[in-house]
Amino acid sequence: MIQSKLFNSSSNDEVYLEFEKEKPKVRGTTKFTVFLIILCILLSTYIYYMTTFEYGFLKERYSELLSSHQMLSEKYNSLLNNYSKLQKLYLKLSEKHSILNKSYSELSERYIILQDNYKDLLSNYSKLDEEYANIKKQLESIQTLYFNPTYKQVKDFIAKDETDKNEYIENEYTCFDFSADVNNNAEKEGIRCGMVLIRFKSGEGHALVVFETVDKGLIFIEPQDDKEVKVAVGIRYWRDNYENVIVKHDDTITKVTIVW
């Protein structure tokens, strides 16, 4: 109830008026407000649970990523270590490669030089081969002029040959000269005769002659006295072929060379 005081000017009396204040209509508005509050609560609850779920998912994902990061870090460190080793190995191999490359260059140069030398040698070989063939033909033609005698023919020739009567003169007419004269005399009669050069264990040498007989094989003759002697590696030339001979050096034969 609300009272309103009025003043009446004609009677100078105060007049009071009473009237009821109209109450506002709030019922519909209250329901809407409650709905909004409930809706906000539901949305907040939904957002909370969704945020909680997303947080759990992200936390689990973070743990997985952290584990993967640790594994990748370990692999990275391992690869980095291997890279360092490979880099050191690469440096060593590079040094070896440089050395090998230098050696290859030097060998290539030597190969070119050797190839040129080989060509020269091949050319010289061809010339020498031709000369050898010519000499061989000449030798064969010469050899056909001589014949291999019988043992008796050798003995007869040596008996009449007078080379053994020559005097041995040191450094002037030696064993080599005796052998050369017998060889020349034999070939004059068509008899094939060879020069024999022997080397003793003491280092000294000696020369004699040999005949290849058709009935007794090789016959060695000492041209200084026409004696038939034994010649082979291991034989003591003077002591095994002559009796009561005094030798001041080791006359064991170590090498025998026959030149026909």
Domains, the chain, ordered by start: 151-259 (3.30.460.70)
3-state SS, residue 218 = strand
Is the pTM here over 0.75, yes or no? no
The enclosing H or E element of 200 equals strand 194-200
- Buried/exposed 187-203: b ≥16 CB within 10 Å, e otherwise: eeeebbbbbbbbbbeee
The pLDDT confidence band at residue 226, using thresholds 50, 70 and 90, is: very high
Given a cut of 70, whether residue 3 has pLDDT beyond it is: no
Given a cut of 60, whether residue 25 has pLDDT beyond it is: no
- Please tell me the predicted confidence (pLDDT) of residue 99: 92
Query: Which residues have CB under 8 Å from 196's CB, separation 6+?
Result: 179, 207, 208, 209, 210, 220, 231, 256, 257, 258, 259
Specify which residues 147 forms β-bridges with: 191
pLDDT in tens, 139-185: 766 656 899 999 999 999 999 999 999 999 999 999 999 999 999 99
